[in-house]
Amino acid sequence: MTAALQVSNLETHFFTRAGVVKAVDGVSFSIARGEVLGLVGESGSGKTLTALSILGLVDPPGKIVAGSIRLGDEELTGLSERSWRAIRGKRIAMIFQDPMMTLNPVLRIETQMIEAVLAHAVMSKDNARQRCREALARVGIPSPDERLTAYPHQFSGGMRQRVAIAIALLHSPDVLIADEPTTALDVTIQAQIVAEVQKLAAATGTAILWVTHDLAVVSGLSDRLAVMYAGRIVEEGPTTEVLARPAHPYTQGLLRSLPVNNQRGRRLNQIPGSTPSLLRLPPGCPFAPRCEARQEDCVSTRPPESQHGTERRLRCFHPLGEVSP
């Protein structure tokens, strides 16, 4: 079966005056129909740019310089802006941390939603309105008829994010890209939204890329987990296994530094040092300066992607054994 989305050796670079920033530097993954892939990593690791690349939304001085993005059987890199517009919002949809990136503050919800329906479907305005009403009800918005005539500012942050999700799912997209969609929301609202998205995607078979820096959220939501560091995926595999038996020293370091994995009141395990500048990456493994498992080869050669067991991919010369976090 072909994957819903297949990204191979993607490179997205920024050509700045200070030099070339390799924000995405050889990223590969695929997501099957109905599957959720979690993408985690610290800020600046390239998660958002991976997402934007898939959406064809990288602006200059940024550019996709290599690799392939396949939506089903169709190659997306190199498409014209016109072809992109026919795909975006229909076959690939997105939700962002700030729902106002998708919502227009001066238009009624109804106006924006009907426009989103008619952009990709031929039908009467009344039918389109009916479709919007159903979409709002599906994401748990009470009395959708009244809500349709409201403006975005009359909604809470959680409600706005629900509207953004309703719009994203209007055309039952093949792929949904979600970039930190619940980060700004309170715990109880976050749990509601995760539950809605989970249900809806299961019903339509939509493949989801869920970008976050919160391991706890993604652990209960995703089937597989990819960990990004300095522009690359350093570990990828089934969520349960990666969390229970991390093989990359960075993944292990992240898990060990979480308060829940430490005894209450004790000093937390911490990864020493900080994220490297993408302008001045060391020649070998980018994690080497902070890595406890580092050996001589790590400093001189970049670890290539390798298969680890049957279901895990890694970029590390000295993977960890069967140790728990």
Ligand X SMILES: Nc1ncnc2c1ncn2[C@@H]1O[C@H](COP(=O)(O)OP(=O)(O)O)[C@@H](O)[C@H]1O
| Residue spans of beta strands (DSSP E) within 51-184 | 62-71, 74-75, 92-95, 175-179
Q: DSSP readout, 152-221?
A: GGGS-HHHHHHHHHHHHTTT--SEEEEESTTTTS-HHHHHHHHHHHHHHHHHHT-EEEEE-S-HHHHHTT
Residue among 41, 51, 36 at smallest CA distance from 215: 41
Q: How far is the CB of 166 from ligand SF4 (least distance, A)?
A: 30
The answer to whether 220 contacts other proteins (rule: CB under 8 A) is: yes
Q: How far is the CB of 296 from ligand SF4 (least distance, A)?
A: 9
Residue 291 contact among ligand SF4, ligand X, other proteins, none, beta carbon within 5 to 8 Å by kind:
ligand SF4
The answer to whether 16 contacts ligand X (rule: CB under 6 A) is: yes
Measured from the CB atom, is 27 or 185 closer to other proteins?
185
- To the nearest 10°, report the CA torsion of 193, 199, 203, 204: 30
Measured from the CB atom, is 85 or 294 closer to other proteins?
294
Q: Contact with ligand X (CB under 6 A): which of 4, 49, 170, 194?
A: 49
Q: How far apart are the first and last CA of the chain?
A: 35
Measured from the CB atom, is 186 or 297 closer to Mg ion?
186
Q: How far is the CB of 224 from Mg ion (least distance, A)?
A: 20
Q: Contact with ligand SF4 (CB under 6 A): which of 14, 96, 210, 317?
A: 317
**Binding mask 276-295 vs ligand SF4 (x if CB under 6 A, - otherwise)?**
---------x-xx--x-xx-
Measured from the CB atom, is 45 or 112 closer to ligand X?
45
101-105 long-range contacts (CB < 8 A, ≥24 apart) are 102/164, 102/167, 102/168, 103/152, 103/160, 103/163, 103/164, 104/152, 105/151, 105/152, 105/153
Which residues are near ligand SF4 by CB under 6 A?
Answer: 249, 285, 287-288, 291, 293-294, 298, 303, 316-318
Which residues are near ligand X by CB under 6 A?
Answer: 14, 16, 21, 23, 41, 43-49, 62, 278
